[in-house]
Structure 1
């Protein structure tokens, strides 16, 4: 299947996303063809990425000076200390703004690499090579970068668009089913908030998509990216419309933080679980079309997606969950902002609820 090219146009940058097989072997020509002619490249690499991919990239960029920063890409290491280590290399090796930082890994690697790139001399070329399904359909699009702190997730960061995104389908073959499901959750979210026809495609072809079969996986990635592209191009800095992409995330981020970013519930699973909570809350408040609620709930059940918070939390965890919901960066008052759903393809933005209201809702979910 021929590689798919998608052009993202924002106020600050215009850049291509390439989706297809065997793209890593074409990295040199892709960079040159997109006006990236760096003499030095820093590869920021998640240690979980198979060495064969890194060796292939280094081989194809052998005419450049290559430096390597390997790190254990997890939520605990997504911090300012990691950023400082990357900046130290860039400064010590005297990188210029025309040189490049390449992030190779999942969403954490892209967020960290992109944030470091935005800070160094106020910005050097950033090339994102997402190697997980979640990163290919989510964090690689839109320019959000950042790190976590003890106060919550992604509270320190910037908007910084890449110069180029290379989504090589071959890298997904090294992922286990759990990691693929995490990426699928974001694809599912895009369909729920924007396009019912796409949701039906996912519902009909779930097994083939999860098994990474062509052309189902390519179509799922492309359609998902296209939905996010349309939103980001209209609202790059999340002043209004882009907030719809946070559907399920206020719940999801608080679940992650409450568990200390443990392996019990990774980011993708937390968002899938958070989406179900947002769906239930939308239904409880009589916003959501009941037919769509049943349709989505049935898909969760048939696909065995995380949907029950009792599997991860007890009533004693409630205060901690609410605390992290209150510190979510979208809030600007004592109330908690949520993105809710009216029907498939139509969200309700900036709905504010009291701590008492959400406390009662989650308490019922934990004791039902």
Structure 2
């Protein structure tokens, strides 16, 4: 992607300009970000997805000032009638189930893959919404069908109501108001309060981004480091205290045990590239609901493309795919990084790979992580 090329998606801004001026700073409203937009997932298809096990879905209903929240899956008869006002169906991770939606998300890859999360579709009957709220992550709100009225504001008071099952702001103070029609898009940075109300039947596509909490990330990385922190010959190094004296206060933790714990963490972090490897594996780990169908074995590779559910990234020393890491250098590393960036390699590009790299890519095709294609 040419990050300096003006994009209609961003209202004529280039990706570089958008990231510098708006990303995590201020909202951006783009009229006709995608001109003549035709939603790739229609209402019936969305309802069918919401009925599937393994697809995260929620139903929000409002009656006056009372709210109800239910979690799917939902058979069609479990959803309210289309004519009933003030209900919303939210279906998460639609990009994992639709090639067309996955392709739509690729337009937002001017943001690092490590930050891109998923695409949620919100279907709402007239008056439907989820109440005034804020998200802890960046979001692009693309209107796919019908109209939705958005009120937004830089909310200082983030107190939530404690009488509803949703994270609804107790005292929402909107500053601006827009009506979005198909193809219009609104970008909001984290913690920017917003409230969207459907004007008639509507669908909104929400492109969301990952923002791992520091404590969550530390917990995950430490767990992964601990798994890899072997003691060389395979025999665990146990705490020993041959000079421990008798104590009158047995509840006190010995200073030697503190030192032993610090040394355990120091050794886990001291292994070269251990932290980098753990981070890459964590960032590419598929979500729990994701599974892959095994591909045909022994396929002669021409071109290759990644399955829409595959997450592939890299750093200076590794290539990561679906929670696994591989050391990479030289020409093979260049090709694997291109596969991560472009999500495909042509037959001509793949012909430059080593036998080891070809064998590795073939194993990904066998696992269903990638697929062969003729270009």
- Pick the structure with greater CA Rg: 2
TM-score normalised by the shorter chain: which range applies? under 0.3
Normalising by structure 2, what TM-score? 0.23
Greater helix share, 1 or 2?
1
Greater strand share, 1 or 2?
2
